Every structure is written in C-alpha cells, then in structure tokens.
Amino acid sequence: MKQYTNELTPSVLALFKEPFSAEQLSGADEEQRQIFKSHAEEMKDRSLVAIWRFATAGSLTRNGGKIEKASASDSFTLEDGSEVNRAMVGDYVVYPDGTRARIINGSGSANTNGSGVSFALVGSQLDNGDVIVSTPQDCALLCQPGNSPAMPADFLAPVAL
C-alpha cells in the first residue's frame, strides 16, 4: 500500500496554490465558485510552511507499527478505490509481535469530531514513544500557511486518556 508523509512535495505545493480542479469548479454553483475564487486569491501570494496528513487505518509508525482499526466514522477513498477510516486520538497501533500502543496526541482543537476528540495525524505520538510516520491517504491534510496564526496550543500536545 502506497504511503504518504508530511513532506512538502511539488504536488502538495501546487495543490496549495490551485486547490480546486476544473471539475470541482464546473460542478459548483455561483456562490461556491466565488468562495473558491476568493480562497485561491487569498492563497496566491502565501507560502506553505507545513502540512500534517490525517492518519487512517493502514498508517505506519517509525518502529514498525500499523493502525489496523481506526475509529472515526468518516473515511477516505484511496487511489485503488478502497476506503479507510480516519484515526482518532485514543486509537491503537499494533506491532508485528502483537503488542499495542495508544495514540496520545493529534490535531487538538484545530480539527475534532463532533464529541471534541481530535484526529490522529502523521506526526502523532504513541504512549510507547513511537510516532506515526505515514498514511495511505493523500487527499486530506491540515495546512500551515506562512503569515498565519500558529496552530493551537493543544495541537500535537499529549492528552490524558
């Protein structure tokens, strides 16, 4: 399964500058097109400082762990057409020897589910000191544009579970 990191690749940078496809624009109503146009204009002269991809089932850790079951109710469609659920803080990573570790930080208040639980990210830490390093999805991420406010204090900050 192909994996993606938080690297600022040329394709990520291009998408930041032109986030809406011709297909999306043609399918949008006039109000949506104006919102898209306004967003593109706002981003035109801004740089992209960092990204954090959402972790999902199939995400990998530095020490060989894998998220086998992700508990969020939403999912992403991968390039091969399969779907994977988004992982949450509190979900587990499983290692080849059968041990497990819990995800202890994530998006914080920058992005939560309806119950206030944050989503796991590439870069989220585990309670055993490991870290999520890649995800199989390439379509959803959080961005930190230049000249924008810093992420909230609870972003990637450990939480008590």
Token readout for 154 is 């609870």
The band of 48, judged by pLDDT with boundaries at 50, 70 and 90, is: confident
Is 150 a member of any domain?
Answer: no
Per-residue model confidence (pLDDT) at position 18: 73
Is 73 a member of any domain?
Answer: yes
Full residue range of the structural domain in which residue 83 is found: 10-145
More confident position, 47 or 105 = 105
Beta bridge partners of 102: 92
Token readout for 101 is 């570790």
Q: What is the mean pLDDT of residues 13-32?
A: 78
The half-sphere exposure of 64 on its side-chain side, counting CA atoms within 13 A, is 5
Report d(CA 22, CA 1) in Å as an integer.
28
Angle subtended by helix axes 10-17 and 30-43, to nearest 10: 120
pLDDT above 90: residue 147: no
Domain of 57, CATH number, reads 2.60.200.60
Is 153 a member of any domain?
Answer: no
On whether the CB atoms of residues 154 and 109 are closer than 8 A, the answer is yes
Is 131 a member of any domain?
Answer: yes
Average pLDDT value for the chain: 90
Is 45 a member of any domain?
Answer: yes
Burial zone of 65 (CB within 10 Å; 0-12 exposed, 13-18 middle, 19+ buried): buried
Q: 78-97, pLDDT tens digit by residue?
A: 999 999 999 999 999 999 99
Per-residue model confidence (pLDDT) at position 42: 75
Is 154 a member of any domain?
Answer: no
Per-residue model confidence (pLDDT) at position 57: 98
This prediction's pTM: 0.86
Q: Total domain count for the chain? A: 1
Token readout for 134 is 């890649």
Q: Which of 11, 17, 21 is nearest to 45 (CA)?
A: 17
Is 152 a member of any domain?
Answer: no
Number of neighbouring beta carbons within 10 Å of residue 50: 14
Report d(CA 86, CA 121) in Å as an integer.
9
On whether the CB atoms of residues 152 and 108 are closer than 8 A, the answer is yes
